[in-house]
Amino acid sequence: MTAVEELEIRVKAIEQFLQMPQHAPAHRMYVGINADAATVRVSEVLEVGARFCRFPVWADLFTDRVQSFRAYERFAAELLTAHIEPLIVCDGRSWADNDYPLWARLPVHYVQMGNEWDILSMSSFTQSAKQFSADLAWARTWFDYHRPDATPKRYLIAGGAASGHEWLLNDVDLTPVDAIAVHPYGQRADGYPTAGWGHGELRDLIRRYKIHHKPVWVTEFGVQDNEMDQAEQAEYIRRCLTIMEEEGVIGAFWYCLSPLMHPLYGLDQGPALEAFREEALRRA
């Protein structure tokens, strides 16, 4: 076979690959839930079939910082005992006196630094790209240096981007992180529920964030109870999880488990909860 013939074969193989459907999932996606460690029991997380539980860690949960740490330590340990992976979120309330090293001693492998840094809202920890970059670098050093003995390097996720403007990450140094996260609120699931609902398509948003060449997690997605009824939420959950898995998302976390964490959100008994449980267990 000549070099030209070999090249022609390779070109044809590449062309065939590009013509293949791009919706075949490359892996079984993790399905998780957002919860408040102070108000949710691990048994409730277990009941919905989630493999991951994402929760913020706040220094001011109790007046005594050590007491706050112990509460989260106990919750994380109980999750692990139930074979549920904890994912902690560090944001503005996580630090005391600009420094709180105890979080690095928590029995967790997955750490998310920052929360919706790219928008301004009641629940976001808004930062500039420079501030966010500094926090990511700090987190990589701090969480690795202070991790418990004989434990592996932490898996660090850059906090959930919520603006939908993937280009904002161009000015962020993502070198220290293993992955990036997005919060695609208001995104349609291939046109569902209607072509006029929300302000974008979930599939398109995920693809745009892939330009940063980091694995993508969806650490929050959900709708308020006044946006969709139970049947619509159930269908939305199924369609979103399918799209995210097809697009290679590593893990997807519904927001949230209980309205005690955030009013108008939560998995109430009914079709939405059953859909989430079924989809989570199918991927477990």
What span, in angstroms and rounded, lies between the C-alpha atoms of 234 and 272? 4
What span, in angstroms and rounded, lies between the C-alpha atoms of 112 and 181? 9
Q: Which helix (H) or strand (E) holds 56?
A: strand 52-56
CA proximity to 126, closest of 114, 135, 134: 114
Kindly give the confidence (pLDDT) of every residue in the chain, 284 residues in length, as a single tens digit, with 9 standing for 90 and above.
Answer: 555 455 455 444 434 433 434 444 456 899 999 999 999 999 999 999 999 999 999 999 999 888 999 999 999 999 999 999 999 999 888 886 666 667 888 999 999 999 999 999 988 999 999 999 999 999 999 898 888 887 889 999 999 999 999 999 999 999 999 999 999 999 999 999 999 999 999 999 999 999 999 999 999 999 999 999 999 999 999 999 999 999 999 999 999 999 989 999 999 889 999 999 999 999 99
pLDDT tens digits, one per residue of 227-251: 999 999 999 999 999 999 999 999 9
What is the DSSP secondary-structure string of 231-263? HHHHHHHHHHHHHHHHTT-SEEEES-S-TTTST
Both tokens of residue 103?
Answer: 């979080």
What span, in angstroms and rounded, lies between the C-alpha atoms of 139 and 170? 19
Q: What percent of the chain has pLDDT over 70?
A: 88
Residue type, 88: I
- As a dihedral over the C-alpha atoms of residue 143, residue 85, residue 87, residue 97, rounded to 10 degrees, the angle is -50
What span, in angstroms and rounded, lies between the C-alpha atoms of 108 and 222? 25
